[in-house]
Amino acid sequence: MKRAVFPGSFDPITNGHLDIIMRGLTLFDEIILAIGVNADKKYMFSLEQRKSFLEQTFKNQTKIKVTTYQGLTVDFCKKMKADFILRGLRNPADFEFEKAIAHTNRKLEKIETVFLLTSSGKSYISSSIVRDVIRNNGNYTSLVPDAVRI
């Protein structure tokens, strides 16, 4: 079975994430959406809300599992018997950042990182932009899946 972990904070999940995940389903038998828990990071949405957003968004997708984890992503992948990490790339800066992480992960464990380019119509969307629009009472509904529209 080809199993991939798609790690992230998903604060909140965006249509950019959705694009990568849905396209990833064509490559993998199962994708585990892994919400990383970082005590040092301030989140707009609680862990429970973020998990609920993902579960609601993918409730009809049997090939997608949603869970949380702490610690190194490679350790979580090993625990979940996943041989791949799925990541999305929006721009060259994302590539440079993700490349360094992928090389480090490969050095720590035998795991491959698969990069998908975000579709051009969604490459500008990021969770931080969505949070900023929400904080400033802007209309963010076209940037996120229905489950996030609070």
- Tokens linked to 80: 């979940």
- The tens place of each residue's pLDDT in the chain, 150 residues long, gives 999 999 999 999 999 999 999 999 999 999 999 999 987 889 999 999 999 999 999 999 999 999 999 999 999 999 999 999 999 999 888 899 999 999 999 999 999 999 999 998 888 999 999 999 999 999 999 999 999 987
Q: Which domains are delineated in the chain?
A: 3-144 (3.40.50.620)
* Residue 142 is a catalytic residue: no
145/150 Cα distance (integer angstroms)? 11
pTM flag (> 0.75): yes
Closest CA to 16 of 93, 99, 116: 116
Q: Which of 51, 78, 90, 106 is catalytic?
A: 90
Q: Kindly write down the DSSP assignment for every residue of 27-90, as one continuous string.
A: T-SEEEEEEE--TTS--SS-HHHHHHHHHHHTTT-TTEEEEEE-S-HHHHHHHTT--EEEEEE-
* Residue 119 is a catalytic residue: no
For the chain, what is the total number of helices (H) and then of strands (E)? 5, 5
19/41 Cα distance (integer angstroms)? 25
